[in-house]
Amino acid sequence: MKRWRAISTVVIVAVAVMVSGCESRGVGGSKRSTEFIRTSCSATAYPTLCYSSLSTHAAAIQQNPKLLATAALSVSLATAVSTSADMVRLSRAAGMTPREVGAMQDCVEELADSVELIRKSLAEMKQIEAVTGDAQTWLSAALTDEETCMDGFAGKIMAGGVKTAVRGKIVNVAHMTSNALCLVNSYATTLHD
């Protein structure tokens, strides 16, 4: 539990630092920034989620693809950490079938791996003007971990409240990770142009 609190604290501090410059920028800059985010998000698989999760950080992102990708990773990490904590709590719920218990244990492990992979990608993005294929590979692997968690709750055998709760949360974090991967890929492309 201490580990999750430490992760949450790091994510909150990172987002707070990103947002701290909001008051010092003009309204016109913010409008251009939100349009930059909207345009960038239109290339993602989930543009509405992308825009809604990043537009509040427009002043910090400005019109910078690296800051946009870093913000997307920060938001994805915060979502993954929160979802992972939710899955740990759900895994302790009484009344689950043995199959649900097994799927929950697998899901908790997959999400812990996903959190670590997103964290590694975020650390790489924070390096000055550098992003290697590692960040993209780690994000792809994190997305695979999240999808593997959902797969554990597929089929007609798994029905009911546990399946619905898990899938709803995992779909959200998977969509956030997918959007972050798209924006990191887009930023990496700008480095090679």
Amino acid at 167: R
For residues 25-48, average pLDDT? 85
Tell me yes or no: is domain 2-10+71-192 CATH 3.90.120.10.
no
User: pLDDT at position 120, please?
Assistant: 95
Cα angle: 9, vertex 15, 19; to 5 degrees: 140
- What confidence tens digit (pLDDT) does each residue in 65-122 have? 999 999 999 999 999 999 999 999 988 888 888 888 889 999 999 999 999 999 999 9
pTM of the model: 0.81
How crowded is residue 28: how many other Cβ atoms within 10 Å of its Cβ? 8
**5: its two tokens:** 């609190």
Rg of the chain on CA atoms, in Å: 17
Q: Quick one: pLDDT at residue 153?
A: 82
Q: Report domain extents, the chain.
A: 2-10+71-192
Please give the biggest Cα pair distance in the chain. 57
Residue 34 pLDDT class (50, 70, 90 cuts): very high
